[in-house]
Structure 1
Amino acid sequence: MTATLVEAPVAPTQSTAGRPVPVSRVYRFELVKLFAQWRVRLLIIACWLGPGVLVFGIQQQATLPSDTLFGRWMHTTGWAGALVTLGFAGTWALPLLTSLVAGDVFAAEDRLGTWRHLLVAVRSARRIFAAKALASVTVVVLLVAGLVASAVVGGLLAVGNKPLIGLDDHILSPGDAAGKVFLAWACVLAPTLALVALGLLGSVALGRSPMGLLLPVIVALGMQLAQILPLPVAVRFALPGWAFIAWNGLFTDPQQLAPLLISIAVSLAWAILATALAYLLFLRRDFTNLTNDGAGRRAVAVGVLPMAALLAATIGIIAASTGAAGSGIDQDKVQQSLATAFAHLYRLQEDQLHRPPVTEAQLQTTAACIKGDGLVANEGPGNDWRCTVTWHIPGVTITGQAIYQLDVNANGRYIADGDGPKEVNGYFVVQTPQGDEPNPLWQFDGNVDLLPSH
């Protein structure tokens, strides 16, 4: 007969029995739970591989997404692909990622009925909230890093580290382009954090309801719709979604930093308030009732009303501090922006045609624009802007003129389409070190600063 020794369980000491588990341990546990989900693993693979494959494939095609910002330059430089990816990510990818990660981090416990077990193990609702919020942010930042890394690598492998044409069509060196591309991606972290915070709020306030999971996507789609509408500038800037557009100002000369800084501050304010509301609602939940998942009119009201008040206050502050009114698009701004872009590209065209170099001071470029054939006010967005660009040709006494049709969006971006003479802004191919490219003066993008010029 043999005896079996069984180790007796050790009772917790008095110093550790009631002590909450450290946030770092709970944070690691929440990370393990997130990475164990098949959808998160698929998202990581997709973000770290998908953009690079798509950018590389697009840059091998003859047809480029020229209707997308920087899409027409994807054959010219590898950095354009990262900016095209950024535009797509701000519209679709980042709202979806934040919904799938942050929008379900609390609701998953409701579906599984594991709140009481988690509270018994951690012994602190505050630390549970902090760990879940930090874990969600960590995963989202990892996904964003994958998007930018994959897009940059794919673009550089396909085309190479070449100069980039800026939004007002000045040339950025490869080093300058790289710095601004990574800075643009860093700037969109602010609105992404705002969407993460809204996902946390929806997950806490709406519980098992699918609306909690979809809240960041719904809010993002609503903000995109608002940016399309002819809203006043103050309303446009007061929405965190504007930060997904304001990075455009990094690629102008001089840089349009005021809209970008305003949008980052607004996004961080939304992120802080939404996180605070989610925290308060989470602490007030009754975890002893298995049928109570936090959803209810009171929870929704507590979440919606403060966010609406923040929006109203932000609109008032921006309007008062910037003096912005109306659409922010007027005749003088359009003319100045078009003349600047044309002068930059004219010099590029002269270089590509192997003609003597000229300076912008020599060109003395000006533009005269009207909207709707003069039948409407010369302000606001629309595809009925018609402009005549005039410049001085060095060495001769005559002046040159070119006609452009402009499609100006409500967010200030416009596409200029050459309408003659064909020798200047018509479609023809020029030889560049990268190969044959369309005439740079044929079609190009530009941007109007919506804030008043001082």
Structure 2
Amino acid sequence: MSTVTAGKAAAGPAAGPATRRVPVGRVYRFELVKLVSQWRIRLLVLACWALPGLFVAAVAQQGTLPSDTLFGRWMHATGWAGPLVVLGFAGSWALPLLTSVVAGDVFAAEDRLGTWRHLLVAVRSPRRIFLAKTLAGATVLALLVAGLVASSTVGGLAAVGNRPLVGVDGHQLAPSDAAASVLLAWACALAPTLALAALGLLGSVALGRSPMGLLVPALSAVAMQLAQMLPLPVALRLALPGYAFVSWNGLFADPARLTELLIAVAVSLVWAVVATTAARVLFLRRDFTNGSEDGGGRRALAFGAAPLAGLLALTFGAVAVATPSTGSGITQAKVQRTVTTVFAHLYRLQTEQLHRPTVTEADLRVTADCGRGDGQVDPEGPGNDWRCTVTWHLPGTAAPGTAIYQLDVASDGRVMADGDGPKEVNGYFLVHTGAGDAPNPLWQFDGQVDLLASPTG
């Protein structure tokens, strides 16, 4: 045998075909099938595509409405209020629970089943595994959110109809404008949903086979909701990713209030990127050859929590520097302006109901004088002791009209006004029209203080 032949023979075993890694698309399809094959995921898909529509249709037929929810008092008036009521509930409860079930267990399940070695032998790339699991979880969440939107919209339109929607400042949105705003509001809610899903991925990687990873998104959402109920500075409120579940209401004002919404969506997306990156780093640093290791323990938990704490401080500082938002954002001037705007729009709506001569906001010259605690408390900040006296003028009438409202101003800027007389204006929940009794738009109404706006507008 020649030297060349001997050299080829010696190199033969090492020169075999290179080991090929499984394409990401194939791994993604495999992970997606694994998720969808779980009975709990199938049950969630069925629930999201059926229950919201049934709920909206049932509530629309009831005599009482969820008036404590934004747009709840308009569910008898238009089918577009239903999807917004469902969005408010979903942001508080449904979406955090969905992210917990989908993303909070996607890695921990492999630890409990002991299937990591089989998966690594088949795929041969931890990076591809992480990417495929992340994309599969995001796909399932998008399917669930799409079901919530479609079901609640169909239920509302079928039960009530395609009618104009009253916005947070009292102006009416045409059905086409309402449809576009509703879809955009749900699209904006995807950003905090992805942030919670990323926290679920981080918890699932850091906590290993422990089922506590399931609780990370839900507990994070509850903590952020409790924080939003406190009189926090606006900058800190916007630095929390959950605020995007609230700020979508700015889409239903005229003109639209986009500053808070854009900041909240951007913060949520940054949180999603940082939390996902931390989960990826922890996952790739893991020693899969050690069967007793199912995560990084305390070190992994600290490594995952430290970037998020730094991100919270960074976003708080950035928002505080960029905007005048170190206080609560609720001042006497803003409350008066909000009540004035909403009352003027809704007075025109009541005028149309009663078939009175048409007036404009300029004709009415509405003003509001608001205070807290009968003048014993500084007129700023949230509280349920606000009281407003609204004054307006009708063309050809010398004496002005007045009405009194008791206000509950929430820490997130929502204003809930309850009419306190006179009866013919706002003291009763019905008005007598030529076609029969109809809901009185001035009896109770909602408004929204723009927390980032200047006190003088």
| TM bucket, shorter chain | over 0.9
AA aligned opposite 1:222: A
1:277 corresponds to which residue? 278
Deviation per CA, 1:272-302, whole angstroms, max 9, x where unpaired? 0000000000000011111110041110011
SS in 2 for 1:424: coil
Answer yes or no: is the 8 Å Cα contact 1:427–1:438 preserved in 2: no
> Which position in structure 2 is the counterpart of 1:9?
none
1:247 aligns with 248
Distance 1:363 1:58 in 2: 35
Q: What is the deviation of 1:93?
A: 0.4
> In 2, Cα distance between the equivalents of 1:288 and 1:340?
66
| Equivalent position amino acid for 1:138 in 2 | T
CA distance in 2, matches of 1:448, 1:406: 12
How many Å separate the matches in 2 of 1:16 and 1:222?
54
The SS at the match of 1:21 is coil
Post-superposition shift, 1:438? 2.2
The within-5 A match list for 1:99-248 is 99-248=100-249
Indicate the residue corresponding to 1:385 in structure 2.
Answer: 386
Deviations 1:326-346 (A, max 9, x none): 110000000001000000000
The one-character-per-residue Cα deviations of 1:156-189 (angstroms, maximum 9, x if unpaired) are 0000100001011111100000000000000000
Partner of 1:78: 79
Structure 1 runs not aligned, ≥5 long: 1-12
Alignment check: 8 A CA contact 1:426 1:439 kept: no
Match of 2:42 in 1: 41
Matched, 1:452 2:456: no
Q: Report what 2:97 is aligned to.
A: 96
Matched to 1:444, the amino acid is: F
Root-mean-square deviation (CA), in Å?
1.4
Q: 2: distance between equivalents of 1:68 and 1:242?
A: 16
SS of 2:384 mapped into structure 1: strand
- How many residue pairs align between the two structures? 442
Match of 1:28 in 2: 29
Equivalent residue number for residue 320 of structure 2:
319
Structure-1 residue corresponding to 2:60: 59
Structure 2 unaligned regions, length at least 5:
1-13
Q: Deviations over 1:77-133 (max 9, x none)?
A: 000000000000000000000010011100000000000000000000000000000
Query: Partners of 1:42 and 1:162 in 2: how far apart?
Result: 33
Structure 1 pair 14–53 and aligned structure 2 pair: CA distance change class (3 A): farther
CA–CA distance in 2 between the matches of 1:87 and 1:62? 21
Using the TM superposition, give the Cα deviation of residue 393 of structure 1 relative to its aligned residue in structure 2, in angstroms.
Answer: 1.3
Residues 71 and 15 of structure 1: CA distance in aligned 2, closer, same or farther (over 3 Å): farther
Residues 75, 359 of structure 1: alpha-carbon distance in 2 compared, 3 angstrom cutoff: same
Name the CA distance, whole Å, in 1 between partners of 2:326 and 2:129: 45
Tell me, yes or no, if the aligned pair for 2:102 and 2:140 is still in contact at 8 Å.
yes
**Residues 308-347 of structure 1 mapped to structure 2, 5 A cutoff:** 308-347=309-348
Preserved contact between residue 80 and residue 156 of structure 2 (Cα < 8 Å): yes
Q: Which letter does structure 2 place at the counterpart of 1:348?
A: L
Match of 2:443? 442
**CA deviation string 1:311-370 (max 9, x = no partner):** 001000000000212110000000001000000000000110010100100001110101
Q: Secondary structure, in 3 states, of the residue corresponding to 1:336?
A: helix
Q: Output the CA distance in 1 between the equivalents of 2:255 and 2:442.
A: 21
Deviates more, 1:387-396 or 1:119-128: 387-396
Q: Shift in Å at residue 435 of structure 1?
A: 6.8
Determine if contact 2:347/2:442 at 8 Å carries over to the other structure: yes
2:259 counterpart residue number:
258
The Cα of 1:403 is off from its aligned counterpart by 0.6
- Alpha-carbon distance between aligned partners in 2 of 1:428 and 1:113, rounded to the nearest angstrom: 62
Taking the aligned partners of 2:374 and 2:34, their CA distance within structure 1 comes to 61
In 1: Cα distance, 2:128 partner to 2:437 partner:
60
Confirm or deny: 8 A CA contact 1:368 1:388 kept in the other structure.
yes
Q: What is the SS of the residue equivalent to 1:368?
A: strand
The one-letter amino acid of 1:56's match is A
Distance 1:15 1:179, change over 3 A: farther
Match in the other structure for 1:302: 303
CA–CA distance in structure 2, aligned partners of residues 24 and 432 of structure 1: 62
Is 1:426 aligned to residue 442 of structure 2? no
**Range 180-189 or range 295-304, more displaced:** 295-304
Q: Is the 8 A contact 1:76 1:434 kept in 2?
A: no
What TM-score do you get using the length of structure 2 for normalisation?
0.95
- The 1:433–1:324 alpha-carbon spacing in structure 2 relative to 1, beyond 3 Å, is farther
CA distance in 2, matches of 1:367, 1:15: 84
Can you list the C-alpha shifts for 1:234-278, whole angstroms capped at 9, x where unaligned?
Answer: 110000000000001001112110000000000000000000000
